[in-house]
Structure formats: C-alpha cells, structure tokens
Structure 1
Amino acid sequence: MIFRRPTPDLETRAALANYRFSPDAILLMKEGAFVECNAAAEQVYGVSRAELIGQNPAVFSAETQADGRPSMEHVGERVQEALAEGFARFEWFNVRGGERVRMIVTLIPLPQEGADALLVQCQDFSETGRMIDAVAHGLARLEEGDLTARLDTAFSPEFEPLRISYNSAAEKIMQSVMSVTEVADALQSGCRDIREASDDLSSRTERQAASLEESAAAMQQVTQTVRASADTASQTEKLVKEANDNANKSTKTVDDATQAMANIERASREIGEIISVIDGIAFQTNLLALNAGVEAARAGEAGRGFAVVASEVRALAQRSADAAKDVKARIEASVQQVDRGVALVSETGEAFKCIVGQTNELSALIAEISEATRQQAVTLGEINLAVGDMDGITQQNAAMVEETTAAVRNLAQEADHLIQSVETFRTSRRTNVPTVQGGHELRVVGGRR
C-alpha cells in the first residue's frame, strides 16, 4: 500500500486518516493508469473501484477541457508538469452520470512508488463551481446593468452568507439607482421648468429692457421739453413784468392826462364865462348905441354925425355879440368834447388799472408756473437718472438671466445625460425581477463541495 510505512509516525497517521476519511478522491497512478484509490474515489468518479483501477484518467474525463483542447493532450502535459515542478494543481472536467463535472486536481510525484508514480487528489468542485458560476453570472448581469438579478436558490451552508450578501448588495445598489433615477427625473423636470421660466423671464426682461430704453429716451425728450418750457416761462415772466411796469407807467400817464383834461375843462368853462361877460357887454353896448341913435334922430341935423357913430358902434356891438356867441358855441362844443375825452380817459385809466391788476395776477401765476416748471425739470432730471439706472440694472439683469438660462440649459443637459446613464440599468420599476437559475446560471443546490 502507498501509505504503509515501517513506523506509524504522525505524518503517516495523518496521511492514512486523509486517505481513509477525506471526501476527496485519492488515487495512485503509475504508467498512465490508476493502480489504487480510496473509498471516496468511487463517489467522486461515480464508478466502482474495480472500474477505476487500470484506467487512464482520460477515460473518465470530458471530451475537451475548458480551453477546448482534447483531454488526452492535457493528461500528458499535466503529468510532465507535476514530475518537473514537484506538483501540479489545475481545474479539470470529468463526466459523471452523463453530466460534466468540475474537479480540482492535484498531482504529487511519489518517487518511492516508481519513477512516474503520482498521487492524484481530486476535489469535487461541482457544487462550488456552480456557486461560482451563479455568482459570476449574477455579477455579469450587474455589469450589463441588470440590477434585478438575484440568487434565489440557497447555497451550501458555508456559502449561504455569500448569497445573502450578494442579494443584499444588489438590492441596495438597485434602490440607490432607483433613488438616483427619481432624483434625476425630478432634476430633469425641475430643470425643464426652470429653463422654461428662465426663457420666459429672459424674454420679459428683454422686453422690459427695450421698454425702459424707450422710456429713458422719452424721459430725456420730456426733460428737454420741460427745461425749454421753464426757460420760456422765465422769459414770459420777464416780459409780463415789463408789461406790468409799462402798464403802471401808462396808468400814471392816463392819470396825468385825466388831470390835464380836467384843467382844460375848467379853463374852457372860465373862458365861457368871460365870453358871456363879453356878450353881455356887447348887448349893453348895442342898447346904448340904439339909444344914442334915437337921441341923434331927435337932435336932427346936429345929431347926424353922432347917429353914424352910434350906428357903427351898434354894428360893432352886434358883430361882437355874434362873435361871442360863435366862440361860446365853439367853447361849449369843446367843453363837451373835453368832457367826453375826460370820460374816455377815465375809462382808459380804469381799464389800465384792471390791466395792471390782471397783469400782476398773471405775473404771479407765471412766476408760479415758472417755479413749478423748474421743479418739474429738476424732478424729471432725477427721474431720468433713475430711469437710466433702472435701464442699466435691467441690462445687467438681462445679462444675468442669459447666464442663468445658459447654466440651466447646461444643467438640463447634464440631467439628460444622468437620465441616459441611469436608464442603462434595469430595476424592478422598469421590468419584472427575473430569477436566474440553472446549472450555469444562479441555481445552486446545497451539498458538499
């Protein structure tokens, strides 16, 4: 036997215990064939000991190995590797019960048993392999973005925590991605709303800026007009003041003319009285001349010369009386004209007084208008400055709105990119959760390795 030693030391006892009680197949191979095996080999290979002894390992192997090459080629290579390196450990595929079974094979040279003697230890790796395949397939599904894949079939007890941890991690990843998806959707919707609001605000700000610019130009024109009106009002105030001064002077002149007309009227009346006296004297002279003519007629021839004189005196008195009457009539007509002129001058004086009063009121009103216009010009100047500041601020706001709109658009694009990135993952909200099962998927049957 391969484990028979003269002295049963610890090494021999340990090797013997491993040979007898190990769940792994332990075989001795010489000259390319099995010559000895333990009891576990029958279970691992799925055949009896008699069927194992004398057979080449290739008899129980799959037709090809993982690399696709024939198993017979690998047998010779692995034997030479173990003999050259002192051991060889590799993955191997056998056929058991018509199924392809994964093994972990270790070859150890035993020179004491022969030059080409090898200790063959085969570990049944089918269950562990299926577990590894399941995990690998699940990870591949995760790599492809399928976050719904779960390991629903229980693993062997020693690997069950791995399955639970995998499912928990996949669930947390899916929940995180779903949360990111919700946030991305909300961000995309918010960005869309903000972008629409920014576009609307930008449009309204542009219109407001244009309106303010037009208002500023209009305010400048109004300010210039009001300043011109203020200047005109000042000039008008000066002209009205001059007119008022002239009206005051005219009033004084009218008063002087009225006084002069009154003096003329008084003088005319005095002349009329003098003419009346002269007319009375002429009347008395005429009477005297008439009496003298009567007396001269009585005197006869002696009084003829005196009668001629009396007649001439009478004629002269008559002409004086006629002239006095004519002068009196003319003076009376002059007095009437003077009276009319005095009345007209008085009316003119009153009119000038009214004009002066109205001119004073007009001057006061124009002064108030001029002061109000000056104040309006100052106020409009301040408003014009304020409108200019508002126009500048609006222009700055428009620029800031443009920048904000551009930033929101960039953020919206980033949100779209985030949505596209998240959409590469499949979650329970987008598809039904599949259960991956099968020998090469995620089904693992509990049992030994």
Structure 2
Amino acid sequence: MSDNDVKTDSKYSVFAVFKTFLFLGLTSFGGPVAHLGYFRKELVEKQQWVSESQYAQLLSICQFIPGPASSQLGFALGLIRAGWSGALAAFVAFTFPSIILLILFAWLLPLLSGDIGVAIIHGLKLVAAVVVADAVWGMFKKLCPDLPRRIITLVVIIILLLLDSVWALWAVIILGGVLGGTFCRQSSTEPVSEIKVTYSQRFGFVLLTVFFVLLLGLIGISHNGGIVQVMQIFYQAGALVFGGGHVVLPLLQESVVTTGLVSNQDFLAGYGASQAIPGPMFAFSAYLGVLMSGGIEQNMILVAFVALTFMFLPGFLLVAAVLPLWQGISNNKTTLNVIAGVNAAVVGLLITVLYDPILITGLTSLFDVLAMVVGILMLNRWQLSPLLVIVWCLITSAMHLLI
C-alpha cells in the first residue's frame, strides 16, 4: 500500500474510532509490545488508517518520549484519524475495560484474606516476576547491543543499589541521556512519509509548555495529602517513565509504598493483576487510586479518576506536542544518541526493579524459582499466550500452598 492510498479523510466518525479501540481494549492481551502488533494488524493492514512508514514513525515517536508507548500510539492514531475527539475516543475505549477490571480487583482485595486469596495474590506476584524478567531480557538485547550502552546500564544499576530514593530514579534517567549524548553513536534514518496533523508547530510548543508547567508546578505545590498528592504522584510518574508500563513500577513503588499509602503486598498483587487483563498497564493507576482513597466509598471513583488522568496526561501532552515538530528533529543525530542513553538507563532501572521488590518479595522458595523459569520459557522460548502463563502461575501457587 502506498502513502497516497492511506485513508486520511477527516470526516471519519469518532464513533468508528471508539468502536475500533474498544475491540482492541477487550482483546489486546500480552502487554505493551503485544499491543503494537495488534494495532499494526488492525489499523495498518486491515483498516489502512496509516501507511507502514507512518506507523513506524509514530511508533518511534512513542518510544522516544516518556509515557505508555502503546496508549500514546493509540492516542496519536485516533488524533490523526478523527482529530482531538478521535484521540480522546481512542484512549477511553482502549483503557476502559482494564480500568473496570482493576477497580473490581481493588474492591475485592479485602476479601482475599483466606488461603485461596493468599494463593491468588502470590500467583499474581509470580506473574509480575515472569513478565518483568522477560521484558528485561528483551529490552537488554534490543536496547543495549554495544559496550557503551551496557556500561550505562551497569552504572545505573550500581547507583540505584546504593541510593534508595525517588530522586535517584530521575537522576539516572538524566544521566543516561547525558552519557548517551556523549558516548553513543546512532545513525539517523530519513522518514519515508510525512505525518500530518491539523494544528501548527506553535500549538505543539504550547502543549510542551503546558507539560513542563504542570510538572514543575505540581512539584512546587505543598500539600497535606488528598487529591493534590494524588496529582503529584501520578503526573510525575507518567512524566518520567521511559520504556512503558514496566518501568513505572519503581517510581510508583517509591511514591505509594514507601510513604505507606499502599502496602507492598497489595501493590505487587495489583501489578500482577494488570498483567492478566487486556489493555494498557498504566490502568494500574486506577487500582492504586482506589486503594489510596482510604476505603471511603464516595471518594474511590474520584481518586481513581484523578490518578488515571494524571498518569496518562503527561504522555499524551508530549506525543501531541511532538507530532508537528517531528519532521525537524527525527534526523538529528544528537537526539538519537541521547535517546539511546536513556533507553540503556531504563534497562538498568528495570534490572534493579526485578531484583527489588519483585524477586525479593515474589519468590519465597525454590518451587517459586522453578515456576518462574517455566513461565519465562512459556513466554520466550515456546511463544505461548500470556493467558497460559497467568494460569500456570496461579496453579503453581495453589499447589505450593497445598503442599
């Protein structure tokens, strides 16, 4: 299909965008990487919303900036297809099923205190261990193919093992960018076709300004808990997460577990549950919002909504800001080198998270280690469905409890 054959008529209905992404939100199991494959099959091959080259460029943009890559890609596709209403429709439809499932899980969590509940929660911790371990290995192979990037990864691991602070998490991402710009050497590739949006570069800069004003403003606002604290926690996490859903774990763990807002067990159980459902992993924020509401029923939905909104908002502001500016920066070698360094730092961040808290709290015996190894083989070697991995982890957890 050539670029001239792409169906880009602005009259395409918002309802059509909503219906398409609702289908994807109900069926896209397997996490962010799998989502990208679902999107390509449905929107490039089947419905021909964009060309192959345009899809590749959109994917590059979403990987190069902070935020949930698959949700940002869906947002961008909806924006190109049907304007701002289409972007909102794509987000709501793709995210809604996972939000409902995770909020239900948060409500049911207090009931999971018996043996069955213990087995389910432990099984979900095993799911988290398998998925993150598989993600770490895949990202290491892809993002750290040479010595400079592997050294950046090692430096990040050492720093994070020595310094236990949320500021250290932010610092290593910045450090990765600096080291990448200095030592990495990436080749630029010329885009094949142009990505067109209905707004100007000037408006792109306005969106970028809004992103930074909110980031700095929320950091500077003092609070005594409540909604403002929820805004701060989730906006900062969403603004500083490179690499997608798995990388958000350490930022949120530091912000909500270390401060006592959510227990570590409930945090990891929810993270494991987010692997078991379709849709974006950032919907995990709605689950945390319910738990952070303190069990006050009339506040649960409000806090979950605020957490979810401020988790996704920075990533959407960035992708919308970058779209009209993309043609001018996509060939810049310095930009590519900085991104390479940031990605290497993200791998180091994931490795430390895999060690603590996931492996430390999720693996309690040799039986768990064996179950995790089999789960990784199911995903990586045998290419089985993530749903089978989830079933495997839950069954082995129940067997361990009975033994």
Greater share of residues in helix = 2
- Shorter chain as normaliser: what TM range? under 0.3
Say which one has the larger Rg: 1
Greater share of residues in strand = 1
TM-score norm. by structure 1 comes to: 0.18
